[in-house]
Amino acid sequence: LAWHMKKPLLVEGPAGVGKTELAKMLAQVSRRELIRLQCYEGLDESKALYEWDYQKQLLWIQANLRDELNWAQAKSVLYTEEFLLERPLLKALTAEKETVLLIDELDKSEEEFESFLLETLSEYQVTIPEYGTIKANSIPTIIITSNNAREFSEALRRRCFHLYLDYPSPEMELTIIRRKVPGIEERLGREVVSFVQLLRKQNLRKAPSIAEAVDWAQALVNLQAETLKKDLVQHTLMLLVKYREDYQKIVGKLDYLLTSGAN
């Protein structure tokens, strides 16, 4: 629906459930270029939208020092497309063909940057003070992802359709693992899924993602495992559990988890 109505899609959910992968697959299926803006604390418009090529501007000024140009004349040359460096947002708007613009982990940026995005999300345009307003040549499909590190404003939510992605069901995760790890036996695949899904219920600092479950399954196949055994799980657990306190917590209840997962 967001695709056909040309509305941004806000995708929220736990880390590792496939939000970023959704945008990648959408670009792949639609054969559009994927333009990715990775958000982080301190991100501003010079990294997200545009930046003036100051070095090139300085070279131009030095080359034209002998000419009697006033500031108005110089400004009309210096602040033109020739000296404008496109960052992801501007690149998506100025592209001749439709693109998929992924604004990844917007919740990591500050509220000021979120407010700055509103013009792009509602009007598909950006305003550069020295240059003017640039409207989209073709409207990009915008996917915004969030791990819920902070709440978004109502203004941003009003401009987007909303999708919440949770961890997949056991059967769906088993299907994913079968596709990603073709050599895995049925029994081992089901044991991997049961164990990983139990881990996600243990109130860990970081729950295992789908990608980490796939990596663990591939490692077990490489080790020629036929079933989950305590020693094997303990020696490969770091592929699923990335913090020491989580590791110690799980190791202390491995017997229980393996027994529960087998039932």
What is the rounded distance in angstroms from the CA atom of residue 259 to the CA atom of residue 263?
Answer: 7
H or E, element range at 164 = strand 161-164
43-to-40, 48, 71, 226, 234 alpha-carbon distances in Å: 6, 7, 31, 47, 40
Q: Which CATH number covers residue 197?
A: 1.10.472
Indicate whether 25 and 125 sit together in one domain.
Answer: yes
Indicate whether 181 and 136 sit together in one domain.
Answer: no
What's 175's DSSP letter?
A: H
Give the residue numbers spanning the domain of 209. Answer: 170-258
In a domain, 75, yes or no: no
Indicate whether 196 and 139 sit together in one domain.
Answer: no
Indicate whether 174 and 159 sit together in one domain.
Answer: no
Considering its fold, how many domains does the chain have in total?
2
Provide the pairing of β-strand 99-104 with 141-146.
parallel
In a domain, 78, yes or no: no
Q: Which amino acid is at 263?
A: N
**120 Cβ neighbours under 8 A, 6+ residues apart:** 89, 93, 126, 142
In a domain, 9, yes or no: yes
Do residues 137 and 91 touch, judged by C-beta distance below 8 A?
Answer: no
Indicate whether 38 and 157 sit together in one domain.
Answer: yes
Indicate whether 123 and 175 sit together in one domain.
Answer: no
Q: Which CATH number covers residue 26?
A: 3.40.50.300
Question: What are the structure tokens assigned to 257, written together?
Answer: 């988890």
Domain boundary among 113, 130, 164: 164
Can you say whether residue 208 is alpha, beta or left, with left for phi > 0 and alpha for psi between -120 and 50 degrees?
beta
Indicate whether 220 and 177 sit together in one domain.
Answer: yes
In a domain, 178, yes or no: yes
Q: Provide the 3-class DSSP secondary structure of residue 135.
A: strand
Indicate whether 6 and 108 sit together in one domain.
Answer: yes
Indicate whether 102 and 212 sit together in one domain.
Answer: no
Question: What are the structure tokens assigned to 202, written together?
Answer: 């243990």
Indicate whether 148 and 180 sit together in one domain.
Answer: no
Q: Please state the φ and ψ torsions of residue 167, each to the nearest 5 degrees.
A: -60, 145
pLDDT in single tens digits along all 263 residues of the chain: 777 788 999 999 998 899 999 999 999 999 999 999 999 999 998 899 999 888 888 888 777 766 666 666 776 778 788 888 999 999 999 999 999 999 999 999 999 999 999 999 999 999 888 888 999 999 999 999 999 989 999 999 999 999 999 999 999 999 999 999 999 999 999 999 999 999 999 999 999 999 999 999 999 999 999 999 999 999 999 999 999 999 999 999 999 999 886 65
Indicate whether 160 and 244 sit together in one domain.
Answer: no
pTM score > 0.85 for this model?
A: no
Indicate whether 160 and 175 sit together in one domain.
Answer: no
95-to-32, 88, 128, 250 alpha-carbon distances in Å: 11, 10, 17, 49
Domain boundary among 131, 146, 164: 164
In a domain, 175, yes or no: yes
Angle (CA) 44-92-76 rounded to 5° is: 70
